[in-house]
Chains A and B, each alone.
Chain A
Amino acid sequence: MIMQLLGEVLKLMVLAGFAVAGILVILIWKKGLATKVTYLRFIIQIVTMVAVFYLFTYPVYQLIVLIVILVMPLFLGRFFCGWLCPFGLYMDAITLIRKALKVRYRLLPDKLNRALHNLRYVLLLIFLIITPVILSILFPIPSLDFAPIMALLFAGPFEPFRVLLGPLIPLIVPWVGPLEIGGVYFSYPYVQEVILYSNVVFSEIFVNVTALIFVALTFVGSFFVRRVWCRFCPTGSSLAVLNRFKGFKWAPALHIDKDEEKCTKCGICKRVCPVQVTEVYEQKGGKIDTSMCMLCMRCVEMCPYEGCLKVNMGGKTVFKSRNWLEPSTVE
């Protein structure tokens, strides 16, 4: 009873949080008032995580989330990755711990970063096409009706489609992973997919080993390398897959624009980027349309030249770099 009441209160709080976040977004849009983008981003990330956890626990909401995540990239690119993804928040929180410990971050070599970037598409291919095909051969689809297909998609052999929601899964559905310590599950959602298929073929030991690798990759990896998972996240690639192709580069309404004349190539944008995007620095002005960029807007916030970097949304400038050297520092 008390728990239920608490749940209701939490939901209201989340709604209030949403309202605050909405107002903040409108403020940015209207006046460029919100200057501390990183703080704003943290607020929105936390609100989304709580929202996903408390509000979208019913299957019907899952569908909405899925649709939102699939449709949004058409208009917003990888905005989801930078601002909404709960797993991104998890990695940012680890980064905060690292900052508090005064440990410096490591950079991945540029070539490796690019290789990982391309690996995403391979991963996406494996999860999206190869596994379902193999599974559908193993377990033939009973009929082509809509409902059974959806059921198959989410619960049946087509479950790998859920990889699109990978980082969200532990938050949407009660999470039971293979690695459990004191009632808390420490494995990473993608593990579930891997394990689901590996379980059939391999032994339990293998499952635990994969789980451990994932934990190491995500926790230790993101401790030393900022946003390590985002560099090869298949969810991200599925979001960005449209911007990847020449004909679709017009598609994302939200993107970063660079004014070449105002740039002195001071290199700040390159250094502060959590996923080591070099295009903002290297490109000679114009629209930044690399699918590596997850629109966290840290570069825009840090750029010390007025109006050099701009975030444009549907032709309107939402937010631009300022002259006044007051970036948010999280310490």
Chain B
Amino acid sequence: MAIEKLKAKLIKQMLEKGILDLKKVLEVDAKNGRISIRGERMLLTSALGFANLHGSVQKIAGKAAPAIIRGYGSSCGKRDFIGVWKAWLPDIEVETVLSLFPVIYSTVGWGKVIGVSLGQDEGRIIFKNCFEADAVLRTCGKRDSPQCHFMTGYLGVLFSQMTGKDWQATETGCEAKGDEYCEFALTTK
């Protein structure tokens, strides 16, 4: 467990100092039309695509659109837990996750994590400049309800997988509706 903590500390320092330069780890194989990071195929596309996803799903499913987008977020959260978190730090503890969370998600461009906390039955995660809210805001303008459905699905599953408890994430504040931050409340089901 001490090794895991040391490893986590090193990853954190590396990311904070910008040593992990995404341009350097990105393998571009233009000949075969592939780009990848550590063998995993990546796709570079505009974050605004998320707003298109929202719009298209809403056109078909109406008020139920958040259920589908949340489901997509949940499956990505589960995949990232296994493919990233568990792959890097197999015996990771919640405390370590909380300390690494801000720097990891800021590095991959999901937004600036202002705060993350997790207690026995509730938790809170605050993002500034969240990509999903930003995409919706830039494409559709200010909305009257929270819009980060992918994020709620993703965060709920990610923390459930990490803690072994069943968490549900609810967005209580969203930049797409004019709030200063996107704020996610975690509650046990």
- Same complex: no
Q: Which residue numbers of A lie inside 8 Å of B, CB to CB?
A: none
Residues of B participating in the A interface, judged by any CB pair closer than 8 Å: none
